[in-house]
Chains A and B, each alone.
Chain A
Amino acid sequence: MSQATPAIHVDDLRKRFRTTQALDGVSLDIQPGEFFGLLGPNGAGKTTLISILAGLTRADAGQATIMGHDVVRDYRQARRALGVVPQELVYDPFFNVRETLRIQSGYFGLKHNDGWIDEIMHHLDLAQHAGKNTQNLSGGMKRRLLVAQALVHKPPVIVLDEPTAGVDVDLRRSLWEFISRLNREGHTILLTTHYLEEAEALCGRIAMLKSGRVVACDTTRNLLQLTNEHCAQLRLDRNDVPVAWQDRLLRDAEGGWRINFSEYLELETLLADLRVTGVRVTEMHLQEPDLEDVFTDIMKRT
């Protein structure tokens, strides 16, 4: 890992809300240019962590910096470096899309930002709605506007808190294309999501939170290798399986068979034995381990 200033640096962050310990000593370093995933069940502390980075919540202890700027002490530089897409679908019903983006630019001290505003509106398919009052936008359009608002000041670090919750397939795809492009152009992305397949496809590294603690943090590739539970589903023309396999093969609800294995050699041996017995395989599906398996596994174990 490079020695450059981390895009996001979090050190032993703690936060308590009345009776719940939302964050219980979280430390993380996210390097510039990373696409980083933050996963965890509801109440794990993801949003609390993001809120502390954004200055919406104050930590009880610990430190957080954005591009080297302390989020409390140097809050101006820290917030200038950070764009946050909040989880809630919020909007200000007094203004239209362009006004919203102009005002948001103004908060960051940017007076003549229309060139960039037009560009983001274009990429997010908002251009044809520029004059529309925000309360007349569909849910998907409101989500796009939130993304646009987070980008008005071209922040090097972008945080997306469950940006695709309740969003249709089209928007999800175009949103990810746009975010991936920003990442390729050098922006650091921190993403929380409940869609594990999204995280698996997009994130280079992933941290998993549980009850305010980091229970796993590694590259997506390494995390996927934590589990080697493959699964094959078979349909056979006759149901008299070889005696040696009767313990391993499980009946599934549709009258087929299932086998869990860790080495492909096991599957090969099974197929060879079936052939010797004269049982023909009529259908076979292979299930590769995915992030969901790893996630479930880690959440259970810790």
Chain B
Amino acid sequence: MSGFSALFYKELLRFWKVVVQTVVAPVVTALLYLLIFSHVLEAHVEVYPGVSYTSFLVPGLVMMSMLQNAFSNSSSSLIQSKMQGNIVFVLLPPLSYLEFFLAYLGAAILRGLIVGLGVWAVTLWYAPFQLPHPVWLLAYALLACAIMAAVGIVAGIWAEKYDQLAAFQNFLILPLTFLSGVFYSIHSLPPFWQAVSRVNPVFYLIDGFRYAFVGQSDTDPGLGLLVAGACFVAISALTLMLLKSGYKLRH
């Protein structure tokens, strides 16, 4: 698997060389969300009894940042390589489609986790440290990043231009992450939108992840993990199938 480690290393080096854009910027953005929303809502909203709004919001923001950055990493790396033409550097060597998949996946997961850790670290000034269920946290964080990393690979392979990738990001990833209970509990929604939220897999990721932090959730975190696991298996199978067939990479 040493071809894998070279590609994994290259992917890490790629985002690390622009760490301000890939890690610092999303942490700052999340901090701005926290300042604004907790300032406006802290005094008015208590989603779960005994949990301050800021404490409720933090896990949502951490998860949202992880999701968006894991997606960004694999998708933008691939689209840039395709647009530049330097994708041939990874297509010419004897890398298997599995090595290709694992390298892009692993690097994107790592970027998601680093950003998540960064967001969590800066929010510690605003919300007290609490972590009743660290194992749930780890499971959800890993699965969430892995799902979005794989979705990013699919998007990066599928998109032929930057605007197609932007459309994917703006019309699919952003609504899915925003409309998933980052800022509110779905129990505050009318029944129709509650039902819609329940078919959004991102809702389960955020809800279960929040459970790890505050010990309360909208649904059973075990069910959430099952949904997340199933999503990861499905999207991975799709990604591997596309890579194996050479879809849009080997014509």
For window 56-91 of A, CB contacts with B under 8 Å fall at 56-58, 75-77, 79-80, 82, 84, 86, 88, 90-91
Please determine whether B90 and A88 come into contact, CB atoms closer than 8 angstroms: no
For window 81-113 of A, CB contacts with B under 8 Å fall at 82, 84, 86, 88, 90-95, 99, 103-109, 111
Checking B6, B84, B94, B251 against A56 with a beta-carbon cut-off of 8 angstroms, the contacting residue is B251
Please determine whether A103 and B6 come into contact, CB atoms closer than 8 angstroms: yes
For window 1-37 of B, CB contacts with A under 8 Å fall at 2-3, 5-7, 9-10, 13-14, 17-18
Cβ–Cβ < 8 Å partners of B192 in chain A: none
A54 at the interface (CB under 8 A from B): yes
Query: Could you tell me the distance between the alpha carbons of A138 and B192 in the complex, rounded to whole angstroms?
Result: 60
Cβ–Cβ < 8 Å partners of A43 in chain B: none
Checking B3, B13, B88 against A90 with a beta-carbon cut-off of 8 angstroms, the contacting residue is B88
Query: Could you tell me the distance between the alpha carbons of A103 and B91 in the complex, rounded to whole angstroms?
Result: 13
Query: Could you tell me the distance between the alpha carbons of A107 and B99 in the complex, rounded to whole angstroms?
Result: 10
> A103-B6, A106-B3, A111-B2 in contact; A55/B91 too (CB < 8 A)?
yes
Please determine whether A90 and B86 come into contact, CB atoms closer than 8 angstroms: yes
Checking A17, A99, A107 against B95 with a beta-carbon cut-off of 8 angstroms, the contacting residue is A107
Please determine whether B94 and A75 come into contact, CB atoms closer than 8 angstroms: yes
Query: Could you tell me the distance between the alpha carbons of A54 and B87 in the complex, rounded to whole angstroms?
Result: 13
B92 at the interface (CB under 8 A from A): yes
A193 at the interface (CB under 8 A from B): no
B44 at the interface (CB under 8 A from A): no
Q: Which residue of B lies closest to A99 (CB)?
A: B13
Q: How many residues of B contact A (CB 8 A)?
A: 27
Q: How many residues of A contact B (CB 8 A)?
A: 33
Please determine whether B89 and A92 come into contact, CB atoms closer than 8 angstroms: yes
Query: Could you tell me the distance between the alpha carbons of A103 and B10 in the complex, rounded to whole angstroms?
Result: 7
Please determine whether A95 and B13 come into contact, CB atoms closer than 8 angstroms: yes
Cβ–Cβ < 8 Å partners of A188 in chain B: none
Cβ–Cβ < 8 Å partners of A149 in chain B: 89
Please determine whether A84 and B92 come into contact, CB atoms closer than 8 angstroms: yes
Please determine whether A106 and B14 come into contact, CB atoms closer than 8 angstroms: no
Query: Could you tell me the distance between the alpha carbons of A90 and B85 in the complex, rounded to whole angstroms?
Result: 6
Cβ–Cβ < 8 Å partners of A105 in chain B: 6
Query: Could you tell me the distance between the alpha carbons of A94 and B18 in the complex, rounded to whole angstroms?
Result: 9
CB distance from A255 to the nearest CB of B (A): 51
Q: Which 8 A-B pairs have the closest CB atoms?
A: A106-B6, A107-B93, A90-B85, A76-B94, A79-B94, A109-B2, A92-B86, A90-B86
